[in-house]
Amino acid sequence: AAGVIQSPRHLIKEKRETATLKCYPIPRHDTVYWYQQGPGQDPQFLISFYEKMQSDKGSIPDRFSAQQFSDYHSELNMSSLELGDSALYFCASSLALGQGVFGPGTRLTVL
Amino acid sequence: GESVGLHLPTLSVQEGDNSIINCAYSNSASDYFIWYKQESGKGPQFIIDIRSNMDKRQGQRVTVLLNKTVKHLSLQIAATQPGDSAVYFCAENRNSNSGYALNFGKGTSLLVTP
């Protein structure tokens, strides 16, 4: 069965650079949830989208923005990167704001 | 320099024994809870869920117990196997009006020894 696809799987950036993470939901899923997981930490909810509209907002920094496109894929844009942004970033997709299936994650390292 | 992450609580069990992993939650209004298994470098994997109108739910080798009085959740794994070694998280639904965005609890690392 098709799963959630995240790209890139690994990303290395310098401080103050920008990064864009992409999430491709399971086919026919219309909801995307984004989470950030620091080393040894629990996942923290960032933001979610349903039918291309923001549905909930968590602890997403102002330096980050996200959107969901007409094909339901979502992108998380991160600017002015800081060392503390180094983490695993997961997205989860679902149908109609349902319980999400998690993707494999993107590991972001900020040097 | 590199930040140091928190040391996770660790539960070490022998293969074949039963495991019990506990979780406390703070929001008495939470109406939905999930247990996830996370292997190193992978995304959280759904194990079992329970709604607040239930006290117990059973799956294959797993049971979740919910005690709303003390806001406590537990995951029981029967006949633990080496493949069960992972970090386990409980999670609660943030806001039932806006889907299934979750608040995760602190993980517990389960180590199964032969």
Q: Does B40 touch chain A (CB under 8 A)?
A: no
Set of chain B residues whose Cβ sits within 8 Å of the Cβ of A56: 94-95, 98-99, 101
Q: What are phi and psi of A60, to 5 degrees?
A: -85, 125
> Span A6-22, mean pLDDT?
98
Question: What dotted CATH number matches A5-105?
Answer: 2.60.40.10
Q: How are beta strands B10-14 and B108-113 bridged, if at all?
A: parallel
Residue B29: predicted pLDDT:
85
- Model pLDDT for residues A41-86, shown as the tens digit of each residue: 999 999 999 999 999 999 999 999 999 999 999 999 999 999 999 9
pLDDT value of position B1: 32
Tell whether the model's pLDDT for residue A3 goes beyond 50.
yes
Closest by Cα among A26, A29, A27, A50 to A104: A26
**Residue in this structure with the two tokens 């496109």, named with its chain if needed:** A69
**pLDDT at position B12 over 50:** yes
Q: What pLDDT does residue B28 have? A: 84
Nearest to B100 among A39, A42, A97 (CB): A97
Using 50, 70 and 90 to split pLDDT, how confident is the model at B35?
A: very high
pLDDT at B7: 60
Chain A interface mutation, best of B39, B49, B96, B104, highest count of A Cβ atoms under 10 Å:
B104
A81: nearest Cα among A10, A14, A11: A14
- CB contact (8 A) between residue B46 and residue A44: no
Rg (CA), chain B: 14
- B64-78 b/e (C-beta count within 10 Å ≥ 16 → b): bbbeeeeeebbbbbe
Mean pLDDT, residues B1-22? 77
Single-letter amino acid, residue A33: Y
Amino acid at B5: G
Entry field: residues in chain A:
111
Q: List, as one string, the DSSP characters of B3-70.
A: PPPPPPPEEEEETTS-EEEEEE---TT--EEEEEEE-TTS--EEEEEEETT-SEEE-SSEEEEEETTT
Band of residue A8 on the pLDDT scale cut at 50, 70, 90: very high
pLDDT at B112: 96
pLDDT at B95: 79
Contact at CB, A45 and B101, closer than 8 angstroms = yes
The arithmetic mean of pLDDT across residues B74-100, rounded, is: 91
Q: Which of A62, A55, A66 is nearest to A89 (CA)?
A: A66
User: How big is chain B, counted in residues?
Assistant: 114
Average pLDDT of chain B, as a whole number: 90
Among A11, A15, A21, A16, smallest CA distance to A77 is for: A21
CA distance B44 to chain A (A): 6
Minimal C-alpha gap between A102 and chain B (Å): 6
* Domain ranges within chain A, ordered by starting residue: 5-105
- pLDDT at position B4 over 50: no
Q: How far is B69 from chain A (nearest CA, A)?
A: 25
The whole-number pLDDT of residue A33 equals 97
Q: What is the pLDDT of residue B26?
A: 84
Over 70: is that where the pLDDT of B65 sits? yes
SS3 B84: helix
Is the pLDDT at B8 greater than 90, yes or no? no
Q: What are chain B's domains? A: 10-113 (2.60.40.10)
Looking at residue B79, its amino acid is: A
DSSP state letter for B53: T
